[in-house]
A and B are shown apart, each in its own frame.
Chain A
C-alpha cells in the first residue's frame, strides 16, 4: 500500500516554512476562543462539515480499485467493513456478526449481520459479501491492498443469507484484521455491476454518509444516509449521523490548509505538518487528533542484496553512524516519538529494542575497519578496493514530507563523519518506483499500512522479493532468510494467540538484530480541527477519522 501525497505539497517547502514561522511568531487566527469547556454536552443535528484533505485526490472513490490511503480516508465515510477496531485497538465485528474457523484452519465461516441495507436499497447478505471478494480478486479491478489481503482464499460459498464460507489455501489468522481495512470494505453488489468508471464516481455502501457528487479537483460531496442502521458496537450513539453533509475538499498545499482552518472555512484538516501542530498546541480554537497508522513503522530499509549492505557489519556500522534522535525531536517539534520497532506502536504485537540503535560513531568506525573499509579518500569517505563507501538513497517527494527529508539530510551529515557517503536522490513517485524496480538503491523509505502484524510477512518474507508484474516488490531490504520465512509462515497460520505473539516477536528480533532496517517513527497521521467540532476522535481500523458521532456546535 502506498500513500501518495501530491507533488505540490513538496514543491513549496519554503512557503510552508514561512507560513509556519509567521504562525509561530504569534499571528493568532480570527476564530474566537470559547470559554465554555463543557460544549460537548447535547449533540446538535445539522450542518455541513468541511474537511480539507492534503492527500492526493483519488482517481477512483472505490478503494477496491488500487487501494491507497487517500481512498481509505474518504471511503471510510460511506463504506463499512466486516470487522473494525474499538478505541482500545481490539478487533470487533461490524458488518459481520462473528466468525469461526475450522480446526485445520482451512475453513473460515463468517456470519453476516442481517437487516442492513446499502444506500441503494439492496440488502447486505452473504451473496453481497461474496460479490465484493470476487470483485477484489478479479485482476480487472487492479486491486493491490485488498487483493493481497484476500490472497489466501481459494473459494467461497454463500451457505445462506447470513453465512459465508471461505475455503483457504493455507490457514490465515490475519484474515479478520484484513477484513477491517477500508480497502476490503463492502459495497452494494448491484452498484458493482455498473461500469468501473461509474462505480469509481459514486460507490454505494452502508455507511453513515453517501456520495452525492464529485467535482474533480474540488470536492466530494457526501450527504447523510437517513436510513443508517449499522453503527459498530463501540459507537457512541445508534442513530444516523448528526451532520447533514460533509464537503470533502482537496487542498494540496499545507500552508493553505492550515490558513483555511484558521479562517473557519474548513473544520478539519488532515496531513497536519509538525510546525502547524506545534503552533496549534498554543491555540485553544484548534484541537489536535494524533492517530498513528497501523502496520509498519516509518523506517529506512537497508538493501541487503548487494554491496555494501550484503555485509552485516556494514549494516550495523551504518545504524550506529547516523544520529537521528535529536533531529527527529527538533524537526517534528516533539510530535513524532522515536520508534525502535518494525511495527507501528498501535500494533499490540509490536516489539521494540532501543539498545540496538544508539548513535556510536566509534563503534561504527571499528565495524567498518573490520569490514575492510579502512582507507579514506580526499573527501574523507571510506574506500575499499578503490570503491568509495557510497549509498544511494532514492526519496519519493510525494511520500516523504519536508520534515522527513530534512531528517534524511541530517542522517547524511552524521554518516559523513564516519566516512559514509549518502547520495539522496529526490524523485517523483514513478521514477522512485523505477529505481526500486532496477534494484538501484542501498537505502529506501517506504510506508506500508495494513492492520495487524502480518504486514511483517509482506515486508520481510523472501516471497516478497519476487517482483509483481509491475516490477514492484514489498521486501525492500531484500531479506532472504529461511529461518525468518519459517517464523513468519508459522506466525501467520497458528491458531494459538500466545504462540502467534511469540513467533512474531522472534521474527521482529531477527530483522532488528540483522540490521535490515532503521525504524524512525510511527506513520504520521495528524488531524487538526476546529473547537466547534464535538466528538472527533473515533477512527477506523486504519486510523481514518469517522464522523458518525461528530456534531458542529453553534
Chain B
C-alpha cells in the first residue's frame, strides 16, 4: 500500500517519515534526560551518604579516611552542579559508571541482566496478546453469556496481584503436581510460571479493552455490509473486527511493557530469576546510585522504543492515522 503511493508523494510528504523519526528521537532524548535528572536529584534528597553506600553501607563501619577516599574517587566532594553536569556528560558518552555495590561497570551488569528480563517481558506480552485475542474471539462467537463469562474472567485476572498469582502457581504446579520448577532458570520449563504470572493480569486488562472494540465492530455498519457482500462471520472477524480490536491493544502495549518491567521486580524475586527487576530492588536497597540510574535509563529507553514501535504499528494497522 505504502510502496505504491510513495513514488507520487510530494517532496513535503517524503520528509514526513524523517520528521516523524527525528521527532521520536528528540522526544526520546528528552525523556532520558528527564529521567537522569530526576534520579540524580531525587536520590540525593534521600537522607544518607553515597560514600557510605560505596563502602558497603553504614553497617560496614568504614573509617573516615576510607570514606574520604571514596568521595574523592567518585567525585562526591565536588559541588552538586559539577557532579550533575559531569554525570550528564558521562551518560551522553555512554558511560554508565561503576556500580557501588557490585564494583563492576553498570554497562556490564545491564548487558548481562537485560536479556533475561526482555525475554521474560517479551514472552509475557506475546502470551497476553494471545490470551486476550483468544478469549475475545471465543466470546464474540458464543453470544451474550459467553461475553459475560469472558468479561468476568478478564476483570478477575486483571485485578490479581503478581505475588499472589506466583505463589498459587508455585503451590499448584511445583509443589502439588511437580510439573514445573519453582525456580526459574533459562530453561523453557523454568520460564512457564513466571511468564504466566506476568501475562495473566495483562491479558485480562488487554482483553477488556480489545473485546469491547471487537464487539462494537461486529455490530457496526461495515460489518453488516461485509456480511451483505457474502463475507462469512469468520471473515468479518479476521478482516475487520480484529483490526479494530488490535488498535487499542497496540496503543496499550507500550504502557504494558512498562507494567511488565515493574512486574518483573516481583516475579524475578519470587522465582529467583536473574534480571533487571531484581537488580533494581537490590540497587535501591543498597543506595547504589549508578546502578539505579542505569536500570532506570535502560527501562526508559526500552519504553521510548516500544512506544515508537506501537505508534508505527498503529499507523500500519489503521490507514486513517496515516503512515509517517
Interface residues of A (CB under 8 A from B): 1-2, 4, 6-8, 11-12, 14-16, 18-19, 22-23, 27, 29-30, 52, 56-57, 59-60, 65-68, 139-140, 142-144, 147-148, 196-197, 200, 215-218, 249-253, 255-256, 259-260, 262-263, 265-266, 398, 428-431, 433-434, 437, 468-472
Contact = CB atoms under 8 A, between A and B. Distances in A.
Given A253-B272, A428-B285, A430-B287, A216 B167 contact: no
Contacts of B176: 27, 30
B68 to A, nearest CB: 9
Contact of A65 (B56, B63, B163, B284): B56
Chain B's interface size range is: 35 or more
Interface string B60-79: 11111111010000000000
B175 A259 contact: yes
A66 B58 CA distance: 10
Nearest to B102: A59
B267 to A, nearest CB: 10
A141 to B, nearest CB: 9
Contact of B58 (A143, A256, A437): A437
A234 to B, nearest CB: 32
Given A18-B167, A251-B183, A11 B274 contact: no
A433 B170 CA distance: 35
B62 A59 contact: no
Interface stretch (B47-55, B299-307, B314-322): B47-55
Given A30-B176, A66-B60, 19 more contacts: A6-B269, A7-B281, A8-B269, A11-B266, A12-B167, A15-B164, A15-B270, A19-B171, A23-B175, A27-B171, A139-B65, A143-B60, A250-B272, A251-B183, A260-B183, A266-B183, A430-B46, A430-B286, A431-B47
A433 B56 contact: no
Contact of A218 (B47, B52, B170, B274): B274
Given A56-B282, A144-B59, A469 B272 contact: no
B37 interface: no
Contacts of B67: 469-470
Contacts of A266: 183
A144 B56 CA distance: 10
Contact of A196 (B103, B112, B270, B275): B103
Interface of B: 46-49, 52-53, 55-67, 69, 101-104, 109, 112-113, 163-164, 166-168, 170-171, 174-176, 178, 181-183, 185, 266, 269-272, 274-275, 278-279, 281-282, 284-287
22 contacts: A6-B282, A7-B282, A8-B269, A15-B164, A22-B175, A30-B176, A52-B183, A57-B282, A59-B101, A60-B103, A139-B66, A216-B102, A216-B109, A216-B113, A250-B272, A259-B171, A429-B59, A430-B53, A431-B46, A468-B62, A470-B59, A470-B60
A29 B270 contact: no
B287 A252 contact: no
Contacts of B278: 8, 217, 252
A217 B57 CA distance: 19
A40 to B, nearest CB: 27
A30 B177 CA distance: 8
A15 B167 contact: yes
Contacts of B178: 30, 263
- Of A60, A256, A429, the most chain B CB neighbours within 10 A belong to A256
A59 B171 contact: no
A472 B183 contact: no
Contacts of A218: 185, 274
Contacts of A256: 170, 182-183, 270-272
A428 B284 CA distance: 9
